[in-house]
Amino acid sequence: MNKKIKVILKDQKDKNQQDKIVSVTRGYAFNYLIPQNIAEIATPGKLKHLNMLKQKQNQKIQINQDKAKVTLKHFNTIHKINIKKKHGSKMQIFGQINEKEVLKKIFEHTGYKLNKKQIDIPNIKTVGKYQVKIQLLDSVETNLSLNIIPEITEHNI
């Protein structure tokens, strides 16, 4: 009488993770999992719906990967970005380079808007060359050269 049934476990912590189909005993399913709203019975309609959602998510992932590859080609055409900053006597710039300035320059050159979480900028306080890491997706990333150029003013001459 130890008959097992299939249930769909609902993952309540992370909505991005797919629901899992497992076989459990009837008593465990009907006495604990279903009343606690942790699982639901895997009917053919629910399994079909779950498969459809997985296919949609796979299509969306494929579209995002294709867009990231096209964007990566555009970033590879740009080899460097130049930013002019005022500087002091020891070539230290006033203020600090932040993500907004770099994102603005990238948008001017490529036309692509990025999120500031996609960019990894080192701590920049002096004039010089730096590498900026841009992560388009988890698996697609590129490096971009960032040149901080001293802005010429009458005081510097």
My answer on whether 38 and 76 are in the same domain is no
Q: Which two tokens mark 105? A: 């320059």
CATH code of residue 24: 3.40.5.10
Long-range contacts of 67-76 (CB under 8 A, 24+ apart): 68/136, 68/137, 68/140, 69/140, 71/110, 71/112, 71/136, 72/136, 72/140, 72/142, 74/110, 74/112, 75/110, 75/134, 75/142, 75/144, 76/142
My answer on whether 32 and 95 are in the same domain is no
CA distances 84 to 95, 99, 120, 151, Å, are 12, 15, 20, 5
Q: Are strands 128-135 and 141-150 parallel, antiparallel or unpaired?
A: antiparallel
Q: Is 30 domain-assigned?
A: yes
Q: How far apart are CA 156 and CA 88, in angstroms?
A: 9
My answer on whether 11 and 39 are in the same domain is yes
State the total domains in the chain.
2
- pLDDT for 91 equals 80
- pLDDT for 153 equals 67
My answer on whether 43 and 78 are in the same domain is no
- pLDDT for 31 equals 94
CATH code of residue 128: 3.10.430.100
Each of the 157 residues of the chain gets a pLDDT tens digit; together they read: 578 999 999 876 655 556 788 999 999 999 999 999 999 999 999 999 989 988 999 999 899 888 888 888 877 787 788 888 888 878 888 888 888 888 888 888 878 888 888 888 888 888 889 998 888 887 788 888 889 888 876 655 5
How much is the pTM? Answer: 0.60
Residue 85 half-sphere exposure, CB side, CA atoms within 13 Å? 23
My answer on whether 126 and 95 are in the same domain is yes
- pLDDT for 60 equals 93
My answer on whether 87 and 140 are in the same domain is yes
Task: Give me the domain span that covers residue 49.
Answer: 4-53
